Amino acid sequence: MQHHGEGLLAEVHDRDWVEAFKRDPEGAALDAADAAMITYVAKLTRTPGQMERRDVLALREAGFADR
């Protein structure tokens, strides 16, 4: 997360928020779409073998598309 944190800081320009996000990405103040994405990515990273169709459907419901 260190490398990605620096890239995120370049986008959001709020070091305190980035540090809080690095400590607890799933507890960060995010809009619904970003929260759905973080939930998906965290599961995909930690337990890829447990991914299910409903994980993808949650992204679609949050506004993401396959294209």
Which residues are CB-contacts of 40 (< 8 A; sequence separation ≥ 6)?
A: 55, 56, 58, 59
Could you list the beta-strand ranges (E) of the chain.
Answer: none
Per-residue pLDDT band for 2 (boundaries 50, 70, 90) equals low
Q: What is the pLDDT of residues 4-27, one digit of tens each?
A: 778 888 988 999 988 888 888 878
Tokens of 44: 């995909």
Check: CB of residue 45 under 8 Å from CB of residue 51: no
Amino acid at 44: L
Q: Round to whole Å and give the CA distance between 1 and 13.
A: 17
**Domain boundaries, given as residue ranges, for the chain:** 1-26, 31-67
